Amino acid sequence: MNLDEAPERLRTLPSWLLAQAALHARREVASALTGVDGHRSEFAALACLDEQGPISQVELAGRIGLDRSDVVRLVDRLADAGCVVREPDPADRRRNLLTLTADGRRRLDELDERIRGAQAETLSALTDAEREQLVSLLRSVLGDGGSPRRAV
């Protein structure tokens, strides 16, 4: 899409511009992850478990902004790949806690490198200071840790 061809009324709407930027960023990330058979939700789950685990599937869903049923399938795939393990929660035997494995950390590093490259490409028109400012402004718009929308 050529931004100059869009109607002026759209080009002055922050919500429309954010949606276009998000679409562009998602395409860049998806393209970067294609070569390693990855997905942004996989990255989000692994990153969350690395920083905040062990946690339950319900907690994971809430923290990365995915539906619980989608997280069940995602965790099944990650467990089958040896990236996470499910272990009974000692405080509540009815639920399992998810823990990142060494293979999961390696996979996270692989995906992280690809995603950071895609982010750099997406934001290549900005200086480092402008990128930091953009992140700060977006966090403010979202309430600095407000409810997550969709993974990466």
72 and 78 Cβ atoms separated by less than 8 Å: no
Q: What is the pLDDT of residue 87?
A: 94
2 phi-psi bin (left φ>0, alpha ψ -120 to 50, beta other): beta
pLDDT digits (tens, 9 = 90+) for 89-141: 999 988 999 999 999 999 999 999 999 999 999 999 999 999 999 999 999 99
Of these ranges, 22-26, 38-42, 106-110, the one predicted with the greatest mean pLDDT is: 106-110
Supply the pTM of this predicted model.
Answer: 0.83
Q: What is the pLDDT of residue 151?
A: 46
Q: What is the pLDDT of residue 35?
A: 84
Structural domains of the chain in order of their starting residue, each with its CATH number = 40-118 (1.10.10.10)
d(CA 129, CA 50): 27
**Whole-number average pLDDT of the chain:** 91
pLDDT beyond 90 at 3: no
Long-range contacts of 141-150 (CB under 8 A, 24+ apart): 147/65, 148/63, 148/64, 148/65, 149/65, 150/65, 150/66
Q: How many helices (H) and strands (E) does the chain have?
A: 7, 2
